A and B are shown apart, each in its own frame.
Chain A
Amino acid sequence: MTLIKDSKGRSKAPLTPWKQKSKKEKKPLPGVASLNGRWGYPAIAPFFMIFLIFGVAPVAYSIYISFFKWDPLGTSEFNGLNNFIFLLQDSDFWLAIRNTFSIWALSTFPQMLIAISLAAILRNRRLKGKSFWRTILLVPNITSVIAITIVFQQLFGRDYGLINGIIGLIPGVDHIDFIEGIIPSHIQIATMITWRWVGYNTLIFLASMLAIPDELYESASVDGATKWQQFKYVTLPSLKNTITFVLIVGTIGGLQVFAEPQQLAADGGSTKQFLTLTLFLYNQAFLNNKYGYAAAIGIAITVIVLIISAINFVITRRISGEGGR
């Protein structure tokens, strides 16, 4: 799990833990022996000091807080495991899980499909303007969530939005309320996420595809395989690891979706139809002043991430065990 976090904490730039692992096996004593190892401590010390204070301590502190009823302007009292017990009984928590995963699914699968198809097109060495297409794909990724949410919100407006304007042209079809409806609201948010990340993922897939030797396609072509067959039997099998990877990184990013739903409606909608886990955490902390409860939610999110990572670990193990590359 390697990620740069952007504003929403979504992950970027995956690397490859399993690739690195195989390297480690090759060199049991990594590093350059002739370099004085004692320099290692001063080299990592500045990083570690800042990291421990601003990266690790808050996490430890929030574990502590999660056992308290903690109101910044009220009283703080020890609350035992109550925050966690309440959390499990809180219907909002389960709604948030449902919404988070629904938005995740609605953004991840279409995204994968589009990204893989685009990558397959871009892989073609005869394509004109390769560099241009690739670069343009990354444009949505660099823009701010806030600015883009403003745009999409308007495009998705129920009565006067551009998208409903187009839908309204179809006779007999009513405007869709992209806020009140559960699935429509998820679609709106998923569209923003997809728009932002599809190009990025295309490049990830493209990188893996470019690593597939041309000869494989050539010989398949000589054997009379159609384009589709080439894609199915040559391209897809080589993407196994990348697909898993994009899925996992997408999941962690998906668990942190915050700004889009918050900009749509700070409370997550009237039926909490787009209350996501992170928005739930934020609202409990900063709207309801329940710092302890919010910390408990944060821990729950962490547990979910760990479970998913564990599943990922098992799956990747199995895939590499089967001889996947």
Chain B
Amino acid sequence: MKKLTTRNAFLGVIVAIAVSAGLLTVPAKAADPITLTIWTFGEVIQPGLQREYQKLHPEIKIIPIKNDVDPLHQKTILSCQTGGPADIIAFEVPYSGYWRTGNRPNCFQDLRQMKTTDTNAAAGVAAGLSATDIKKNYLPWRWEQGVAFNDSVIGIPTDVGGLQVAYRSDLFKKAGLPTDRVAVSKLWPTWEKFIEVGQKYVSKLTPAEKKSNKGFIDDAGSIYAAVMNQGTVKYYQPDGTDAGKLVYKTNPQIKKAWDTTVKALNAGIGARLGQFTSDWNIGMNKGAMATILAPAWMLDYIKKQAPDTKGKWDIADLPVGGGNQGGTELAIPSYSKNKQAAYDFLTWYLAPEQQLKVFKTYGLFPSTSVLYDDAALLEYKDEFFSNAPVGQIYTKGVLKLKPIFEGELQRKIDSTFGAGLGRVASKKMTSEKSYALVISDIDKLFRN
């Protein structure tokens, strides 16, 4: 009981300050501790940081609820119609186009109209900051992914999914390949060279290893997204309108990404392990793949799934250089009853200091560009990955990135291409036939 009263007192003080500052309309149940419900996925909300925030604010209870990315998207759509219990919702960048267009930005609070209270002043977040004020901390194009076409700011970026190659130096050595990360990076200036190295690696495998489905890369299909994201345009070309112009039939980058991937598939360098499947996890432990195209956020996943492979991994540059995959926005749904508390949490959680901590413990690469010349980031090395200077490697990659316009049905189109490559990989269809089917499947998305 005692604890409760101190909590109440504490909260009372906060409310009093907030009200007198005229920043906050008093919530109906001001006396109760605030519960922030966060709909999230993967490792977006880090338990360590969550605990840290709760230590700062015992009056706030944070409950992250996890879902997979696509079901979460569905839930978000449904809850926008009905209202719901969430105070913060995470959505992946490929879905940002969907939320930025039409009247869908209304599903979220315009963060330009929010202002921080002084609740986190001691923790480095000054009072009175709107989204417009914190914008300068972030990588500009990354920030824009959370800005709707009606200019309201619906999401704040968490990480940048910088992409590099994680490789097994022990397996490289066995196959007679160089193991040093600089030498390895030099092996593949282009994707063609990458495939050649893969073929060399696969030719050294024993028949038994081949039978048990081992390969050079976990999933050759993952090359597609990597190549796509090295371009400047994906399926939508910016043309001054909100919707953008659909170019999924004509953009040469798509054909290039497709053909490169098909070449890799046909070269047989992949272990055909779909990412995040059970076989992939087990395969990681069994050395079924020597390379993974790893976005920064995947490093932590590898550590967790295959702890015994510690020290056997290393990180090299992505062929061509500069790759991107994923990245997330955190948003406040318009129906949230705790918008102020949610905003205060967000501005703290996504501030440069916290993003740096997240990077060090979980490997998510910060979206706050103010950090990119920070020694703490650049000098960070990861023991699990043979002490690779992951901070430096990923920063180098991210700085090469160019902004890409993410359109309304980006994610759907991406997964349609993914399925198309899956068909080629499993030899269910020729590349041409599968490609034609992809196009007609996408046509259908826009039809009725």
Contacts and interface: CB of A to CB of B under 8 A. Distances in A.
A touching B, CB within 8 angstroms = yes
B33 interface: no
A298 to B, nearest CB: 15
B448 A270 contact: no
Given A73-B81, A82-B448, A158 B279 contact: yes
Interface in B191-212: 211-212
A90 interface: yes
Given A82-B448, A267-B419, A270-B419, A288 B412 contact: yes
Contact of A293 (B77, B81, B103, B448): B448
B448 A177 contact: no
B282 A159 contact: yes
A153 B428 CA distance: 21
B279 A289 contact: no
B213 A159 contact: yes
Interface string A72-99: 1110000100110010001110000000
B280 to A, nearest CB: 9
B74 interface: yes
A69 B448 contact: yes
B102 interface: yes
Contact of B422 (A174, A270, A293): A270
A73 B422 contact: no
A231 interface: no
A73 B80 contact: yes
Nearest to A289: B77
B282 A160 contact: yes
A138 B366 CA distance: 54
B400 interface: no
Contacts of B428: 180, 270-271, 273
Nearest to B101: A74
A168 to B, nearest CB: 9
B448 A79 contact: yes
Given A72-B81, A287-B70, A154 B423 contact: no
Interface of A: 69, 72-74, 79, 82-83, 86, 90-92, 153-154, 157-160, 174-175, 177, 180, 266-267, 270-271, 273, 286-290, 292-293
B25 interface: no
Contacts of B287: none
Given A86-B447, A159-B213, A270-B422, A287 B74 contact: yes
5 contacts: A73-B102, A90-B444, A177-B426, A271-B429, A292-B448
B400 to A, nearest CB: 32
B448 A175 contact: no
Contacts of B423: 270-271
Nearest to B71: A266
Interface in B256-290: 273, 278-279, 282-283, 288
Q: What 5 A-B pairs come out closest when comparing CB atoms?
A: A270-B422, A180-B426, A159-B279, A270-B419, A271-B428
Nearest to A160: B282
B249 interface: no
Contacts of A90: 444
B415 interface: yes
Nearest to B73: A287
B28 interface: no
Interface in B378-423: 412, 415, 419-420, 422-423
